[in-house]
Structure 1
Amino acid sequence: MNTIWIVLPVLLVLMFQLGIELDGAAFRRVAKHPKALFVGLAGQLLLLPAAAFAVGTLSRLPPVYFMGLMLIACCPGGSSSNVFSMLARGDVALSVTLTALSSIITLFTIPPVMAFAARIVERHTETSIDLPVAKLILQNIVLLFLPMAAGALFRRLRNEAAERVSAVLKRVAFPALMLLAALFFLQYTREIIANIASLGAATAAMLLLSTGAGALLARSFRLGSSARRTIVIEIGMQNAAQAIAVASSPLVFNNGEMAIPAIVYALVMNVVLLAYLKMLR
C-alpha cells in the first residue's frame, strides 16, 4: 500500500480548513503588533531547522533519517496549532496568521534547506540524494497553496457555509492525521521499532531546543504571555502530513523511510505540547 494516496486527501483537507480560518481582520490585528509575527516566523523558519541540524549531526543519525528530521523541521506549522493555542489561552489570531504565512513562505524555503541538507549528507557519506526542486515547489503549491486559497475564497463567498464546514473539518482533521500515523506505523513497524529510541530522543531534543529558544526570544522582545504561549506552540507543532507527502511522493524523494521521523515527531510533539498545556493550567 502506498501511503501517499492517504496522505494527499488528509493534507488537502488540513490546508482547505486553514484557508477557511483565514480572516482579514485577524491579519490586521496582528499587523498592529509585528514583533510577535517576526519572533514566531524566526522561530519556525530559523530556530527549528537550526535545532534539527544540530541534533541530527550530534546524534549521528543515518542519512535517510537526518534528511527526514530536516524535512519536518522546515515544513510549516500544523493547523492543529490553532486549537492548541486556544486551549493555552494564547493569541489565536496570531496562531492562524503564523500558520498561514509559514505555509506560504516555506513553499520557497524548503527547497534550499533540503538542498543544503543533501549536500551535507553527500559530503560526509557515500549516499547520493536527488532533489527535484521544480517538482518539489510544484507539489507544494498544489497541495498547500491552492487548497488554502480555495478555503479562503469559500469563506469570502459563502461565509456561513464555510463556518459550518470548518466546524466539521476541525473535528475530523486530527483523527485523520492520527489514522495516517497508525497506517504508516503498520507499514514500517520494523523500521520504526528499531529506531524509536534514537528518533524519539532526536525529535524530542529538537522540539525542546527550538521551543525553548523561541520562548527566550519572545521574552527578550517583551511579548505578552498569550503571544509567548502561541509562539511556543507554533514552533513545536509542524505539518507532519506535508513532511510525509514530500518524503513519500513519487515526484520528490519517493522514500517512505524518510517520512519515519515525521511520524515519530507527530507522536512526540503531541505528548510534549499536551504536557505544556497541563503545565500552564
Structure 2
Amino acid sequence: MDSALTTVGLPVALGIIMFGLGLSLTLDDFRRVGRHPRAVVVALACQLLLLPAVCFALVVVADLPAALGIGMMLLAASPGGTSANLFSHLFRGDVALNVSLTAINSIVAIVTLPVVTNLAIAWYDASDEVSLQFRKVLEVFAVVLVPVALGMLVRRARPAFAAAADRPVRTASAVILAVLVLGILVDQRGNVVDYATRIGVVAIVFCVISLVVGFVVPRAAGVSDRQAIASSFEIGVHNATLAIYVAVEVLDDTEISVPAAVYGLVMFFLAAGWGVLLTRRIVTPSSEPDERATGRSAP
C-alpha cells in the first residue's frame, strides 16, 4: 500500500490523533498518578504484561502465519487509543484516571512496543523480512510524542480553543481510522475473506478478553468501580492507528497491519456493548464527581 494514503496520510492521521490527545492533557494528569498508585500500577501491569501474554497464547493456539501473528502482538503492545477516554466518559468511568493512563501508556509504549514486536519477529524467525531498529523507534517516538507535546502547549496557552477543538478532533480521529481501515482492506482485497476467517475470531476474542481483564483484575485488586471502568477501556481499546502506522511505515509490510485494521472495525461495537453491560448489569450508577471537574481525587 505504497501510496499517498500511507506515505503522507498515515503519519498526518496519527499526528492529528496524538495532537488531539495532547489537547486533553495537562501536567496535573501526570501528577495525579501519585494519588491513584494502585489503579495505575494494576492497569499498567495488565496492559504491559498480562495482555501481551494472553495475545501470544491466542496467536499460538490459532497457529497464525508470521505476518498476522506479528501484527497481533504489535496490536497488543500498542497503548490505549484516544477513543478509550470517550468510552470512559460515556459509561461513567474515572475520566481523569483514563486520560492519565493513556498519556503514560503512550510514553511507556515507546520502549515496550519495539521490545514486544521484536520478540514476536524473533519467534517467527522473520528477522530477514522485517525489523524494528533503533532509528525506527526514534521515528515512532517523534510521531507520537511531538504532537502530544504540541497539543499540551496549545491547551496551556489557549484552553478555550483546546476545549472547543476536543470534540471535532475526536470525530476526525474516528473518521481517519475508518479511512485507514478501508484503505488497508482495499489494498488487501484479494485476501480479505481469508484474513477475516483467520484473524477475525482472534481479534474479537482478544478485544473481549482485554475489556474484561481490564475491569476484573483492577476490581479484584480493590480499586473503585469508576477506576476499573477507566482501566477496562484503556486496556481494551488499543491505538489501532499507531499499530497500523508501525506496520506499514516502519516495518513496511501491509499484511502485518491487517490485525489492527480488523480490530479497528470490531472494537467500537464490542466496547460499546461492554459499556452497556457494565453500567446496566455489573456496576451500579455512581454520583462520584469527575476529578478533573472538581480538581481533587475521588474518594
Q: Into which bin does the TM-score normalised by the smaller protein fall?
A: over 0.9
SS of equivalent to 2:128: coil
Whether contact under 8 Å (2:214, 2:236) holds in the other structure is no
Which deviates more from structure 2 when the two are superposed, residues 210-219 or residues 236-245? Answer: 210-219
Amino acid at match of 1:76: P
How far residue 30 of structure 1 moved from its aligned partner, in angstroms, is 4.1
Please, what is the CA RMSD of the aligned residues?
Answer: 1.7
Which consecutive unaligned segments of at least 5 residues does structure 2 have? 281-299
Whether contact under 8 Å (2:20, 2:170) holds in the other structure is yes
Task: Find the counterpart in structure 1 of residue 85 from structure 2.
Answer: 82
- Confirm whether residue 72 of structure 1 aligns to residue 75 of structure 2: yes
Give CA deviations for 1:111-158 in whole Å, capped at 9, x if unaligned: 111111111111xxx773431421221121121011101111111122
Of the three residues 94, 99, 105, the one matched with 1:96 is 99
Of the three residues 258, 263, 266, the one matched with 2:261 is 263
Task: Find the counterpart in structure 2 of residue 10 from structure 1.
Answer: 13
Task: Find the counterpart in structure 1 of residue 151 from structure 2.
Answer: 151
Write the distance in 2 (CA, Å) between the matches of 1:139 and 1:193.
33
Give CA deviations for 1:218-243 in whole Å, capped at 9, x if unaligned: 12211111111111111110111111
The number of residue pairs the alignment matches comes to 276
How far residue 263 of structure 1 moved from its aligned partner, in angstroms, is 0.4
What TM-score does the superposition give when structure 2 sets the normalisation length? 0.87
Task: Find the counterpart in structure 1 of residue 232 from structure 2.
Answer: 232
Task: Find the counterpart in structure 1 of residue 285 from structure 2.
Answer: none
Write the distance in 2 (CA, Å) between the matches of 1:176 and 1:71.
20
- 1:202–1:20 Cα change, 3 Å: same
How far residue 39 of structure 1 moved from its aligned partner, in angstroms, is 1.4
Write the distance in 2 (CA, Å) between the matches of 1:49 and 1:132.
17
SS of equivalent to 1:130: coil
Which consecutive unaligned segments of at least 5 residues does structure 1 have? none
Whether contact under 8 Å (2:121, 2:127) holds in the other structure is no
Write the distance in 2 (CA, Å) between the matches of 1:114 and 1:30.
27
Task: Find the counterpart in structure 1 of residue 252 from structure 2.
Answer: 254
Write the distance in 1 (CA, Å) between the matches of 2:68 and 2:132.
19
Pairing 1:206-225 to 2, within 5 Å after superposition = 206-225=206-225
Whether contact under 8 Å (1:76, 1:239) holds in the other structure is yes
- 1:164–1:215 Cα change, 3 Å: closer
Amino acid at match of 1:236: G
- Confirm whether residue 275 of structure 1 aligns to residue 278 of structure 2: no
SS of equivalent to 1:254: coil
- 1:147–1:209 Cα change, 3 Å: same
Write the distance in 2 (CA, Å) between the matches of 1:60 and 1:44.
23
SS of equivalent to 1:90: coil
- 1:166–1:211 Cα change, 3 Å: closer
Amino acid at match of 1:243: A
Write the distance in 1 (CA, Å) between the matches of 2:157 and 2:213.
41
Amino acid at match of 2:78: C
How much identity, in percent, do the aligned residues show?
A: 32
Whether contact under 8 Å (2:203, 2:263) holds in the other structure is yes
Of the three residues 55, 60, 71, the one matched with 2:58 is 55
Amino acid at match of 1:171: T
- 1:212–1:166 Cα change, 3 Å: closer
Whether contact under 8 Å (2:26, 2:156) holds in the other structure is no
Give CA deviations for 1:158-211 in whole Å, capped at 9, x if unaligned: 222222222321222112211221222222122222220221111122222333
Whether contact under 8 Å (1:47, 1:214) holds in the other structure is no
Write the distance in 2 (CA, Å) between the matches of 1:153 and 1:15.
13
How far residue 35 of structure 1 moved from its aligned partner, in angstroms, is 0.8
Write the distance in 2 (CA, Å) between the matches of 1:92 and 1:155.
17
- Confirm whether residue 45 of structure 1 aligns to residue 43 of structure 2: no
Write the distance in 2 (CA, Å) between the matches of 1:26 and 1:149.
13
Whether contact under 8 Å (1:48, 1:207) holds in the other structure is no
Write the distance in 1 (CA, Å) between the matches of 2:140 and 2:13.
14
Task: Find the counterpart in structure 2 of residue 189 from structure 1.
Answer: 189
